[in-house]
Structure 1
Amino acid sequence: MSTIASLAHLSLFVAVCVGQTASRLAPKKYLSLPLGTVKPAGWLSDRVNPGQLSLLCLKVQAAGLAGHQREFYNYVSDGDWTGGSSAYSDLEEAGSYWFNGLVPTGVLANDASIQNQTQQFLEYVLDHQDSTGWIGPEVNTTKARYLWGRLLPHLIDPSIVCLGETKADPSQADRVVGAIWKFIQLANTMLDNDEGLEDWGRSRWEEFALTLQWIYDNYPNGQEDLLLNMMHKLKITGFPWEDIFAEANFPKTATEGLTSPFGDLAWHGVNVAEGLKALAVSYRFTQNKTELDIASAGWDIVFQYHGRPSGSFAADEYLAGLEAARGSELCMVVETMFSGSYLYQVIGDLKYADRVERITYNALPATLTGDMWSRQYLQQQNQIAAKNMNPDPFPRDGSYSNVFGLEPNYPCCTVNHPQGWPKFISNAFVLTPDKRSLVHVYLGPYSVNATLANNNHVAVTVDTLYPFSDTLTTTITADKPFKYYVRIPSWTSNGTVAVNNGAAHPVSPSNGLHSVAVEAGTTKITLNLPAEITTEERPHGAIAVHRGPLHYAYDIPRSQTVLARNTQQPLAVDLEFDATAAWQYAIDPSTLTFHAGTPESGKLPSPVFDSGLSPFTISVTACPIVWDVAGDTFASAPPESPACTGSPVNITLSPYGTTKLRISEFPVYSAT
């Protein structure tokens, strides 16, 4: 292990043992806003015409699998937390995952049906808390009680923000907080007695610490010392992420055949995705700034050795290296998004916001069908089929993993994926610590209504087709003057800003943020953020293509076969996709050309993350090559320096998130 990491962990252990811990939580760089303050607008929310599917994303998600699984899906359809009987339910996480995603989905989509579902679930859970304070399906059973999946913040932060901050029902908020405090007292005793933790709980200790921090910041009840001590206990008994992310210990290749000094779960993809924020979480109660440096280095090392052009990283169950045929789990995608948002709010580094935005507009939609009724367990950068795979490129996941369906491989992603879009939207704006300024972090169409310091009521409307446009028009009304900040992504080239229809000036960001002095009344900001086409080097001499926040891929024409249909809900189907045209191409990077189409009526087609609907494309000269297939289901590694086997052709590259079969890491050749 690295010296800096081991010393950090040792110093914390000594501090806790002798009682020399921080007496308060360190402030974050930026403050999150209550759920519902930031709402989706434009293509993120609107309907095209009555009777048509709504545009991505929240209303499509609400109308799809996420919004309906409570009606039929066995893991969350019964009165208890899981309803399922498979071995996978042993850790009882399904209800927590489901609630975590559906509370913000219901609020942001303004969907009364979903809000009713989550309300009923919340009432059931609270009604069944036992006299000891335990919450969960183990009540009145002989099941062992593990804090995972109770230590998730899923039952806490969303419900309190929804029910308490809206002030719609303060008495209900009081009831929820009271139940949480009963559980905290019990969990504290369990930790003292070395009870309730197994490896899953130890690997995800930061999730419980997050919950305790939220309670500390909002409802401490004079028990700040107890909460801080519990955070320290969780860290001491949990996985040492500072050592796991250390250069000397971290795996530089796919992990099958390697032995982790911390146990296999330290290299589990979803654990790593959640663990990315662990050191930022612990910094708040240790106030040890070294932990922020380790968190930053941990973020970098994960993407250096396992990163994907889609923004995510590879882990087909465990960290899987850089090969384009290896998988990235959907649960891991949404957990990485949330970890990146938290890291940005604590540290303020542009790299976290840039990557979260890239993941959201690429990796997340790519692994869902356009109507969001079917999802994958694993997506691939080069994915030439979605079917039962023989042979299987995923050493520790099943051959069904890249099928689009209700429950390919494991059910966790079915109940967990709905957190992705609503948490991204909710974290799109933040406050400065003095609450005097608003910061627009994730670019896209939104409406915001917030009250800043000094009772300054502010309303913001962002009108844009971003990421399918380079221009954002923001209209702000404010009672009093304040400073408004907007993130300028690192990929922007020659960006400009104009205020109140004045002359456009070059953007001048500091640490990625451009500031505008907003006066009382109405202010209009026009932001233009063009980008150049860039290429990224990948293994075997291949390249990936980017422009702005979007990664581009060849959208392979496909056939569709229904493999299975749920007997209770016919819209929940398992789909096999097979290529119906050649995909074996090398491209000439010098011929990459961007094309910006103009959507009719200034609106995007619906749902925009589906084949052939994006107004943004890139054309490139390509030639057919020999490119081997492993069995009949996945592409071998891109061939290096391939010879053309036919005449050059022009092919069109589409945003990665719109493709379901694709090539996105290309061999290269020169057409001249």
Structure 2
Amino acid sequence: MHPQVTSADTSSFVVPVYQPLPLGAIRPQGWLRHQLQIMRDGSTGHLDEVYNKVKQDNGWLGGKGDGWEETPYWLDGAVPLAYLLDDKALQQKVKRYIDWTLQHQRPSGYFGPVTNAERSGSVTINVSNADQGEDWWPKMVMLKVLQQYYTATNDTRVLSFMTRYFNYQLQALKKCPLGKWTEWATSRGSENVMMAQWLYGITKDKQLLELANLLQSQAFAWSDWLGNRSWVIDAAAQQNDQHWMRRHGVNVGMGLKVPALDYQRTGNKKYLQDLHTGFADLMHLHGLPMGIFSADEDLHGNAPTQGTELCAIVESMFSLEEIIGITGDPVYMDALERMTFNALPTQTTDDYNNKQYFQMANQVNIKRGVFNFSLPFDREMNNVLGMRSGYTCCLANMHQGWTKFASHLWYSTAGNGLAALTYSPNEVTAKVGKTNTAVTIKEITAYPFDEQVRFDLAMSQAVAFPLQLRIPAWCEEAVVMINGEKIRSEKGGQVITLERNWRNGDQVTLQLPMQLRTSNWGRNSRAVERGPIVYALKVGERWEKGHDDAEGDYFSVYPTGDWNYGLPEKIIQSPAQYLKITQVQPVTDQFVWNLEHAPVTITATGKKIPEWKLVDDVAPQPVTDRNGIYKGRVNEQEETISLVPYGCTKVRIVAFPVVK
């Protein structure tokens, strides 16, 4: 753990490179808006009606029901959804919980559901009896809910509420440290630190940095672990019950932001190196082709049949969004897109009412069973698609993935400019330049499937401001055009700045050629990529509905075609020659991440590996030599196979063995 620090050096606080825009400034369009509409009509908009734990006598409305993490988890995605879609009904729904929370803060600053001690007597929680309060952890999530609500509404109650709570917390933590009630608060203290530092950015109250120091001194030492390497190696080697909380994938996903937060607070660039080292190590030892690390529930190596928890994906995405703002490093922008456009969409059903607790990269069926996951075994429900299957933390928490991605497509920059750092169809409105002139930019694109992103600018008067655009690392050379005229070419892996006097009707076009390529993953497997998308074997799907008395209805999915193909070595050596884009169907406003709507198909050849069969319902990777070639029996005949975006699949092979 960090040594306890009780003073704060405000001069070292680092202003983030990029600042998120207020919630509601970005309006998703096209396929992304449709994804959010599906969520509104599905579980995100109605979880309080269909999930009894949130529905019944909710603790965050003063009742005796759920007063821990699941209601704040749900709100952490439902609040941004309500304002991204400007949906008044959903705004009113979530505001009930926000209003109750703001209106029932104790005089001491403590907040949250009525505690057992408060119900049983005349106690009101204050610093002197703080030990009769309840877990710090769920309050951290509710603080994130309130912060988003504030940026959407400028409701000043939030700032005074947080100020009072943080004053209480600064004193109470000395008596009741983060780990007083659960280790969840200790492992996830970063969420609390982040909110204290956010408020400091507004109020400049130096006690907030003192609080952030105190919180981090009591929390898991993620910066030390990420930077010192032995932690990630130990996590790869150990799967026992010792220190499993520091291997827990969701904790890791949240912990990724800690070095960036430590850097923001202290100005010490060593923390940036800790982050760089730790993230690279994490993905080398535990990374999977769809851009996320194994987390089933613990870190579990890089075999393509390891699982990843849905919560780990959405928490890692949010950490990357925070890291991007603080550091401005395009490495994490690329990582965010890869995770979002591959790992995220595959793990929920089309109607966003069912989720898969663990997904696998090479997933040749979805069914009940006991797999090589670190937890849990006996329930046999952690791989199926169900509303309540596996643990329900993901049912509550999955809603922040798409919504926070959409709300972080743009950031504000120094010089009162705008930066498009990840791409999807949307419209953004902000005040820019020295004159604070309102500008609206329509981002028109079928990205991530298409190579072109167009920005149409509208404003009442000309205004000079910097417009920054990311060139992804996978792009060898991008072309930038303004009003149809090529103005520059740029290499990938950087953020470029276009600074000029912009006029109403100006149009910027960014061409991002997407080369076909392959990448190397666990057990000498290879994945096919184009742009930010990873492509998986297209296998027909047979869905089967089941019911579990404890966990409700669920779906299994079985393949209707063969999956046991290896990729010929010639494809690895020359992907552009032997891989062909054979089908491009329009990405319409009704796009859904499924096989029917897959906009791009890559045609390849494959050879069947007869002995590559299911073992305990998974497809263990065939053994290869050091050159990466499978040496067992392979069919001589090459067959034509189709590859589609990973996020459009439910059953698939994405990490292929290589054959002669």
Query: Under a length normalisation based on structure 2, what TM-score does the superposition of the two structures give?
Result: 0.89
Which portions of structure 1, spanning 4 or more consecutive aligned residues, are displaced by more than 6 angstroms? Answer: 565-568
Please list every run of 5 or more consecutive structure 1 residues that lacks an aligned counterpart in the other structure.
1-5, 46-54, 165-172
**Which residue does 2:112 correspond to in 1?**
136
1:627 CA drift (Å): 4.1
Match of 2:165 among 175, 180, 183: 183
Whole-Å Cα distance in 2 between the matches of residues 510 and 73 of structure 1?
A: 43
Verify the 8 A CA contact 2:249 2:299 in the aligned structure 1.
Answer: yes
Q: 1:113 aligns with which of 89, 96, 101?
A: 89
1:40 aligns with 2:28: yes
8 Å CA contact 2:356, 2:389 repeated in 1: yes
Assess if the C-alpha contact under 8 Å between 2:365 and 2:559 holds in 1.
Answer: yes
Give the C-alpha shift of residue 112 in structure 1: 2.6
- Cα 1:212–1:590 change in 2 (3 A) is same
Instruction: Kindly indicate whether the alpha-carbon contact (under 8 Å) linking 2:429 and 2:440 is maintained by their aligned counterparts in 1.
Output: yes
CA deviation after TM superposition for structure 1 residue 485, in Å: 1.2
Partner of 1:92, secondary structure, is coil
Deviations 1:77-132 (A, max 9, x none): 1342479x99xx99811111111110001111222332121011212223333343
| C-alpha distance in 2 between matches for 1:34 and 1:277 | 21
Contact 1:255 1:319 in 2 (8 A): no
| 2:148 paired residue among 158, 163, 166 | 158
In the superposition, relative to structure 1, how do residues 536 and 123 fare at CA in structure 2: closer, same or farther (>3 Å)?
same
Matches within 5 A, 1:65-214: 65-81=43-59, 92-139=68-115, 140-141=118-119, 145-152=134-141, 153-164=143-154, 173-197=155-179, 198-214=182-198
Cα offset, 1:232, TM superposition: 0.5
2:16 corresponds, among 17, 24, 28, to 28
Secondary structure of the corresponding residue to residue 37 of structure 2 = helix
Does residue 268 of structure 2 align to residue 270 of structure 1?
no
Which residue of the other structure, out of 646, 655, 659, is the alignment partner of 1:656? Answer: 646
Q: Kindly tell me: are residues 461 and 317 of structure 1, through their superposed partners in 2, closer, same or farther at Cα, counting changes over 3 Å? A: same
State the AA in 2 paired with 1:156: L
Aligned with 1:304: secondary structure?
helix
Of 544, 563, 580, the match for 1:594: 580
Deviation at 1:475, TM superposition (A): 0.8
Contact persistence 1:605–1:613 (CA under 8 A): no
Question: By how many angstroms is 1:178 displaced?
Answer: 2.9
Please point out which of 415, 432, 444 is paired with 2:396: 415
Paired residue for 1:534, among 517, 522, 543?
517
Which of 449, 467, 485 is 1:484 aligned to? 467
Q: Distance in 2 between matches of 1:481 and 1:589?
A: 52
Contact residue 509 and residue 515 of structure 1 kept, 8 A = no
Q: 1:238 to 1:547 in 2, by over 3 A?
A: same
Could you tell me which of 42, 64, 78 is aligned with 2:42?
A: 64
Cα offset for 1:251? 2.3
Cα offset for 1:318? 0.7
Contact 2:8 / 2:213 at 8 angstroms: preserved in 1? no
1:289 pairs, out of 258, 269, 293, with 269
Matched, 1:307 2:283: no
Specify the code of the residue in structure 2 equivalent to 1:494. E
Alpha-carbon offset, residue 598 of structure 1:
4.2
What does residue range 244-255 of structure 1 map to in structure 2 within 5 Å? Answer: 244-245=225-226, 246-251=228-233, 254-255=236-237
User: Residue 20 of structure 2 aligns to a residue in which SS?
Assistant: coil
CA distance in 2, matches of 1:632, 1:566: 24
Cα pair 2:54 2:66 within 8 Å, conserved: no
Secondary structure at 1:328 match in 2: strand
Check 1:465–1:550 CA distance in 2 against 1; reply closer, same or farther (3 A cut): same
**Cα deviation per residue 1:278-299 (whole Å; 9 max; x = unaligned)?**
0111222222221122122122
Over residues 118-173 of structure 1, what are the superposed CA-to-partner deviations in whole Å (9 max), with x where a residue is unaligned? 01121222333334332222433467512111123323211111221xxxxxxxx2
Q: Quick one: percent identity of the two aligned structures?
A: 28
Read off the aligned partner of 1:387 and give its amino acid letter: K
Aligned to 1:558: 541
Query: Is residue 224–residue 274 contact of structure 2 (8 Å, CA) maintained in 1?
Result: no
Is the Cα–Cα contact under 8 Å of residues 91 and 148 in structure 1 kept in the other structure?
A: no
Does the 8 Å CA contact 2:476/2:492 hold for their aligned counterparts? no
Judge conservation of contact 1:244–1:266 (CA < 8 Å) in 2.
no
For the structure 1 residues 252 and 521, does the alpha-carbon distance in structure 2 shift closer, same or farther, using more than 3 Å as the test?
Answer: same
Partner of 1:243: 224
The separation in 1 between residues aligned to 2:290 and 2:614, in whole angstroms, is 23
Secondary structure of the structure 2 residue equivalent to 1:527? strand
2:391 is paired with a residue whose SS is coil
Q: Pick from 376, 384, 387: which aligns with 1:397?
A: 376
Structure 2 runs not aligned, ≥5 long = 121-131, 572-577, 625-629
The answer to whether 1:216 aligns with 2:200 is yes
